[in-house]
Structure 1
Amino acid sequence: MRTYVALLYSIVLGEGRRVVMSDLKAMAERIGLKNVRTLVATGNLVFEARTAKISDLEHRLEKAFEETFGRHVDIIVRGAEDWLKLAAGNPFPDDSADAADQVAVRVMRRPAPVEAAAALHAYAAEDEKVLLVDGDIWVVFSRERPSSRLLTAASHKRMGIGTSRNWNTVRRLAEMVGSRQ
């Protein structure tokens, strides 16, 4: 058995309807995943499964989600070792220590194209940072602006399938999988 992290792109089912984490956990258990745990109510799963291809796990989870909740949602899966590497590779440790909720990573299903990630710099405010690390896009969002142009610029259409998590979530998921290694 290996430990994995799964990130749901969205858990909003429609106006006023969100996925309840206990329902998500039950769905994952129904498809045979073991020791399923959730982290905060934003669609983060940690689970164990027999060694499998990541793409197969993603497909199983997406199919089960659609059957259970009636809506397709992209789900990104990473093995525990890869998640720990992602967390250890945070290129903004000082910013993360100062304001962990302002640092995020867009975890990609397939590595983001270098040119697409580089194009994000045009959308960054003066106090924002963008860096591509191992195919994922790390961002330090502005502390001065309540919204950032980077959020809309880093869309599926431009970057490919991915989902963002702030440093608090990345770190806590790393703690969860690290304790299972």
Structure 2
Amino acid sequence: MSLHIALLRGVNAAGGRLITADELTGLLADLGHTQVRMGPKVGDLVFESRERTGAELQTQIETELLARLGLRTDVYVRTAEAWRALVAANPFPDFAAADPGWLMTLFCKDTPDKKAMGALRAAIRGTEQARAESRQIYAIYPDGVGGSRLTTSLVEKTLGTRITGRTWTAVLALAEMLEPA
């Protein structure tokens, strides 16, 4: 058994069907996953699974969410080791310590290439900064996320991949859930 984190994109976003924590944890348990726990928000799950790749788990969970709950969404799965590595790889540690709510980790379906990341950095018109590491992009928003032009749609269009984001505070809370009690 290996430990994983699954992030669901846009769960309980405005206008959509509300999904409960019990529905999500129950679905993963029904699929044979164990030690299923909800993270800091609905749509963030920590669970153990038999040896499967992250891609297989993503596909399995996406398929079952649609079939059982009528929820069409992207799922992003990382192993515990990959999660710990992405925490350690944070290129903005000083910013994270000072203002973790304005550091976002953007989880990509596909690894962005260097040319696309260059285009994304060139598209930034404010004080934001973005750096890629594997299938994550670390983005700082010194002036806040709300008025920023570094939006999900800009990132997805520029990189050609789907994303979901979590604040650094949420990333660290999920990292804590990976540690033994």
Same fold (TM over 0.5): yes
How far apart are the structure 1 equivalents of 2:179 and 2:116? 32
| Equivalent residue, structure 2, for 1:36 | 36
> Contact between 2:40 and 2:174, CA under 8 Å: does it hold in 1?
no
Shift of 1:42: 4.0
What letter is aligned with 1:36? V
TM-score, normalised with respect to structure 2: 0.90
> Contact between 1:128 and 1:140, CA under 8 Å: does it hold in 2?
yes
CA RMSD in angstroms comes to 2.0
The runs of 5 or more residues in structure 2 that have no matched partner are: none
> Contact between 1:113 and 1:135, CA under 8 Å: does it hold in 2?
no
Alpha-carbon deviations, 1:143-172, whole Å to 9, x = none? 267321111311267341331111011111
Q: Secondary structure at the match of 1:149?
A: coil
> Contact between 1:7 and 1:45, CA under 8 Å: does it hold in 2?
yes
How far apart are the structure 2 equivalents of 1:175 and 1:30? 25
| Equivalent residue, structure 2, for 1:154 | 155
- Cα distance, 1:145–1:6 mapped onto 2, change above 3 Å: closer
How far apart are the structure 1 equivalents of 2:3 and 2:170? 17
How far apart are the structure 2 equivalents of 1:132 and 1:73? 23
Q: Secondary structure at the match of 1:12?
A: coil
| Equivalent residue, structure 1, for 2:83 | 83
> Contact between 2:102 and 2:144, CA under 8 Å: does it hold in 1?
no
> Contact between 1:107 and 1:162, CA under 8 Å: does it hold in 2?
yes
How far apart are the structure 1 equivalents of 2:139 and 2:24? 28
Query: What is the correspondence of 1:58-77 to structure 2 with a 5 Å cutoff?
Result: 58-77=58-77
Shift of 1:16: 5.6
The runs of 5 or more residues in structure 1 that have no matched partner are: none
| Equivalent residue, structure 1, for 2:95 | 95
| Equivalent residue, structure 2, for 1:109 | 109
Aligned pair count reads: 180
> Contact between 2:116 and 2:158, CA under 8 Å: does it hold in 1?
no
How far apart are the structure 2 equivalents of 1:123 and 1:178? 38
How far apart are the structure 2 equivalents of 1:132 and 1:57? 23
Q: Secondary structure at the match of 1:154?
A: helix
Q: Secondary structure at the match of 1:84?
A: helix
- Cα distance, 1:71–1:85 mapped onto 2, change above 3 Å: same
How far apart are the structure 2 equivalents of 1:3 and 1:26? 17
What percent of counterpart residues are identical?
Answer: 28
- Cα distance, 1:17–1:77 mapped onto 2, change above 3 Å: same
Q: Secondary structure at the match of 2:24?
A: helix
Alpha-carbon deviations, 1:25-68, whole Å to 9, x = none? 11111111100011122411100011112211111111111112
What letter is aligned with 2:166? R
- Cα distance, 1:139–1:70 mapped onto 2, change above 3 Å: same
What letter is aligned with 2:107? V
Matched, 1:174 2:175: yes
How far apart are the structure 2 equivalents of 1:173 and 1:156? 28
